[in-house]
């Protein structure tokens, strides 16, 4: 039989805290208001009118952002809009 001192030194390591499953960060929906009308020249651009509210999806380009308006996704010129 082992001495009691040997048994107390062989404790199990503490449990690691449970990690939450990785969830994508919640994007805050940035919206912009069109200040002018814009007629798309390419198929990947958005048509919009002054006063339209565009939900911004991607701001990685300095001049052209990707957004969605009335269910259509496309690029639009940032300088035609102001943040809501």
The 10s digit of each residue's pLDDT in 19-76 is 454 445 455 589 999 999 999 999 999 999 999 999 999 999 999 999 999 999 999 9
The Cα-based distances of 30 to 41, 52, 58, 79 in angstroms read 24, 14, 10, 15
Give this prediction's pTM: 0.67
CATH homologous superfamily of 29-84: SH3 Domains (2.30.30.40)
In the chain, domain spans: 29-84
DSSP-based three-state secondary structure for 30? coil
Backbone CA torsion sign across 70, 40, 76, 33: negative
Alpha-helical segments (H) within the chain = 4-9
Q: What is the pLDDT of residues 4-29, one digit of tens each?
A: 555 555 666 556 455 454 445 455 58
């Amino acid at each position: 039989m082992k001495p009691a001192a040997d048994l107390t030194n062989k404790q199990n390591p503490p449990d690691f805290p449970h990690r939450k499953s990785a969830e994508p960060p919640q994007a805050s929906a940035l919206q912009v208001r069109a200040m002018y009308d814009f007629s798309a020249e390419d198929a990947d651009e958005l048509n919009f009118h002054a006063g339209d509210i565009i939900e911004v999806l991607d701001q990685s380009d300095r001049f052209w952002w990707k957004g969605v308006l009335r269910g259509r996704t496309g690029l639009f010129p940032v300088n035609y809009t102001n943040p809501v």
